[in-house]
A and B are shown apart, each in its own frame.
Chain A
């Protein structure tokens, strides 16, 4: 070897060795000698791998065989026993006759690169895992609002919809949302926030708090936007329950103050009537007391229903029995007000599984509403209430019709809301709300048709076999 080449050979920042056809090391540069020690008479696999036989995949052997250069990534163990990652290249050295006399093996230490690669891979895996497992819906979207990545939570609830537009998947609509936080982030590079109600693939409505943030490339350009949507449905439900509770307390407080004033009034009339020996006033005062005690009772019973989401105590009972009991009870009241009260019951309506007490309370509530609607209607001379019961194979239908004052659109829409009353001081605003809750607890539903000054028809459908047995199409028995 010429002196120059010898110098280059010695100072190369890599491990250089020359192997003979038996893979014995016949020359090694300075760096090799320093890290792997003396090589005289020893084989490369002994020094590099600390093994007694040739390696299965040996690039030097291949170079001897085919005269070509070969490369391979290998792990060597140096003098101090440390594993070193090396990128190994072998190239044949030919003699003057063109025969392969030796192979030069150059091994570059890539331990640090490998270490960095491993760290990068682990870091990527960690971020991927974080992206996948974070307990919210995460998507990455491009400028066309197409979802280009989505995490597990998102895929589970909204499906594997890569390539679809965000608003198609979340909102089931064909137009962009206005405003769109993803677009805003693309425009100004800022984090944006909004609250939305989205619909999952199984039709569930989910309240989400949405945050969007830009993802930039190495030149700082926004190439995509990450959208993180946290499910806050439970928080919103809790908030709604707390609001209801607040309303209960406020309404109770208002109602009780009114009732106490009326009770005071009744007591005043009774006492002053007794003092003046005015029997008519005593009677009027006593009626006030009775009426307001009854209102307190109704309010408390209604509140008990509201306060406790109890499961109905189901019994298999004849539908006719419930209908007849309720009508018998309410007929007297209707007569008192001069209202025509008619009952039409299907004799074959059969049995149903209901909480008899709750259903009676539901029907009484609806008939009381009908009586009130007739009582306050001054525009008609004759008033009528019709109660109908019809049995179907899967469910039972009650109908309460009255030709009373009826409801305008606003009253109809708010009729089932908590504490909505169209009856001024006579209503607690709980009746229809509770009735609706009772029907729902039985797996049934209440439908309301009403027109102002014409009348109201309330239809209650209850599954014959209780909650969970959804009624099929109506077919009379």
Chain B
């Protein structure tokens, strides 16, 4: 039996962490959680995930900074990232920062449809 894929969920809202982790675990994934960019980097150092869902607006190290660090690091840049954000303005800034970094594998706007996120996660972890 194939081992379960591991998803790192990064969001500053505890309820969203709970929602996404429950939803993904119900659908056969393992999850690890981080409330900001710093916590997410610690999780990356501990064990590499197969995919990351990333919020953009977070206190401390924001999603944009974390994303740049990820894509600049040879060990991590292959890991697919799905951006999940409620702030379109932040997303615009994020997109404009793509000159230095490749675009994200997926983008979802809050509120998210669970079928959509499951389909994207499945696609990028296949």
A interface residues, Cβ below 8 angstroms from B = 250, 253-254, 257-258, 260-262, 264-266, 268-269, 272, 281, 284, 288, 291-292, 422, 424-425
Contacts and interface: CB of A to CB of B under 8 A. Distances in A.
A284 B22 CA distance: 11
Nearest to B19: A265
A291 B13 contact: no
B97 interface: no
Nearest to A427: B59
B86 A269 contact: no
Instruction: Choose among B20, B87, B89, B109 the residue with the greatest number of A CB atoms under 10 Å from its CB.
Output: B87
Interface in B71-126: 86-87, 89, 109-112, 114
B19 A261 contact: yes
A262 B59 contact: no
Contacts of B36: 424
A261 B16 contact: yes
A265 B109 contact: no
Instruction: Choose among A254, A261, A266 the residue with the greatest number of B CB atoms under 10 Å from its CB.
Output: A261
Contact of B18 (A288, A422, A424): A288
20 contacts: A253-B86, A257-B109, A257-B111, A260-B110, A261-B111, A262-B16, A262-B19, A264-B112, A264-B114, A266-B19, A268-B19, A269-B22, A281-B22, A284-B18, A288-B15, A288-B19, A292-B15, A425-B11, A425-B12, A425-B14
Interface string B5-26: 0000001111110111011001
Nearest to B20: A265
**Contact-residue bracket for chain B:** 20 to 34
Interface of B: 11-16, 18-20, 22-23, 26, 35-36, 57-59, 86-87, 89, 109-112, 114
A268 B22 contact: yes
Q: 8 shortest A-B CB distances, which residue pairs?
A: A265-B19, A257-B86, A425-B13, A262-B15, A260-B111, A424-B12, A257-B110, A261-B111
A248 to B, nearest CB: 14
Contacts of A422: 59
A12 B98 CA distance: 93
Contacts of B109: 257
